[in-house]
Amino acid sequence: MENLNLFIRSIFVDNMIFAYFLGMCSFLAVSKNVKTAFGLGVAVSFVLIIALPVTWCINQYILVPGALSWLGEEYAETDLSFLGLIMFISVIAALVQILEMAIEKYSPSLYSSLGIFLPLIAVNCAILGAVLFMQQREFTNAWTATVYGAGSGIGWLLAITCLAAIRERLAYSQIPAPLRGIGITFIITGLMGIAFMSFLGIKL
Amino acid sequence: MNVNKSLLPLINPLSKDNPVIVQVLGICSALAVTAKLEPALVMTISVTAVLALANVIISLLRNTIPTSIRIIVQLVVVAALVVIVDQVLKAWNYEVSKALSVFIGLIITNCIIMGRLEAFAMSNRPWASFLDGIGNGLGYGIILVIVAFFRELLGSGTLFGCQVIPQWCYEHGYQNNGMMILPPMALITVACIIWVHRSRNKDLQE
């Protein structure tokens, strides 16, 4: 029940895009058509689902103060938490590299349609952001972390697909020249954010 | 305007080639830390410092980095610099460091930094890269400060935490616009800046 609550909250209330503005760069750049946007959303969710439990274990068994005590008494005092950022970004970069190789082998068509944005998932702030939030919230076990990762990923997928659908329609509308392109996309994202705020306070 | 050509990397990003509203880089942090002026300024300083140093380091290394692993090298350099900034900030101003929470860590994935490293530092000399880093950091900072100024003024009636809107306004029924504090209004404020900027620079319109 606790986990279901966390799952729903991370999709709608703590949505990565609308509540924290994470992963905006690729969100704005890849949302021109629904199909590519959906593909990227799935890839991001996938990386999140794997990255969160892995980084949770690293954080719990290597980084937090006293985490190394399983190595022996003399390590019980060690505090490696300052290494967090470097460890997390390397794990994420490695995962993205593996994902890229897997997609290239098993689904060449998706691979060519995602193009440059596949390796760029490594620097998608939504992923590092979710990892850092996980560290900040101090989840008690790896399963909760996985649920949080899945929720954040699906929330991101939902947001980018919605925006892409709206932008496909926008092609036919009359927009003041200075606002065309990026300006109107910002306003739409803002309005969608306000709409998503109506989920605030949901509790299961 | 007639300026020394070597200073162009410093001046261009301030308006004509602004990283946030023209290149559309680094949006995540630009929007999330702008509810108040103080975190916005700290963020600007941190990003400028990291960007300038990373640009210089990568520019010095540019001939020795093999192309196939350059992303990893860049990430490691940036991550090391960000860890230093993070530790300095924790020691020097713990309150602001708490307020920025994960966003200092997210400087690593700030697209401005990766973007400038790829586009500029990999192919230019250290001094030009340094100027480019400072220029882009400041260009990013200008947008942050403008957005934070309006959001803090209209949202809480304060600037840098000091009351600016006088008490008698509130007595006559003026109210702070709570909407401005909420995240979505940051996007709409940036959209307004883009609108003004593009109507003055016609060649940027799509």
CB contact under 8 A, A20 and B27: no
Chain B residues within an 8 Å CB radius of A137: none
Sign of CA dihedral B190, B191, B195, B198: positive
Ramachandran region, residue A99 (left: φ > 0; alpha: ψ -120 to 50; beta: rest): alpha
CB contact under 8 A, B75 and A133: no
Q: What is the pLDDT along chain A (204 residues), one digit of tens a residue?
A: 788 888 888 888 888 888 877 888 788 877 888 888 888 888 889 889 988 999 888 888 887 777 677 777 777 777 777 777 788 888 888 888 788 888 888 888 878 877 667 777 777 788 888 888 888 888 888 888 899 999 999 999 999 999 999 988 888 888 888 888 788 888 898 898 888 888 877 766
Task: Report residues of chain B scoring pLDDT below 70.
Answer: 1-4, 68, 101-102, 206
Task: Phi first, then psi: give them for residue A76, nearest 5 degrees.
Answer: -65, -20
Among candidate residues B2, B11, B20, the one with its CA nearest the CA of residue B135: B11
Chain A, 142 to 161: residues with Cβ < 8 Å from chain B are none
Is A199 within 8 Å of chain B by CB?
A: no
Mind giving me the DSSP string for B123-141? Answer: GS-HHHHHHHHHHHHHHHH
Pair of tokens at residue A10: 């991370």
B80 and A86 Cβ atoms separated by less than 8 Å:
yes
Chain A, 20 to 49: residues with Cβ < 8 Å from chain B are 20-25, 28-29
Per DSSP, the three-state class of A78 is: coil
Instruction: State which residue of chain A sits closest to B107, comparing Cα positions.
Output: A125
Query: Which residue's structure tokens are 């029940």?
Result: A1
Burial (CB count within 10 angstroms: exposed 0-12, middle 13-18, buried 19+), residue A87 = middle
CB contact under 8 A, A132 and B102: yes
> Each residue of B145-191: pLDDT tens digit?
999 998 888 888 888 878 877 888 888 888 888 788 887 888 888 88
CB contact under 8 A, B105 and A132: yes
Per DSSP, the three-state class of B33 is: coil
The C-alpha of B53 sits at a distance from chain A's nearest C-alpha, in angstroms, of 17
Which residue from A125, A132, A190 is facing B191, i.e. has the nearest CB? A190
A149 and A130 Cβ atoms separated by less than 8 Å:
yes
Which one of A15, A22, A134 would you mutate to disrupt binding with B, by most B Cβ within 10 Å of its Cβ? A22
Chain A residues within an 8 Å CB radius of B195: 176, 178-179, 183
The C-alpha of B71 sits at a distance from chain A's nearest C-alpha, in angstroms, of 9
CB contact under 8 A, A85 and B83: yes
CB contact under 8 A, A122 and B75: yes
Give the global pTM: 0.81
Task: Write down the ipTM of this complex.
Answer: 0.80
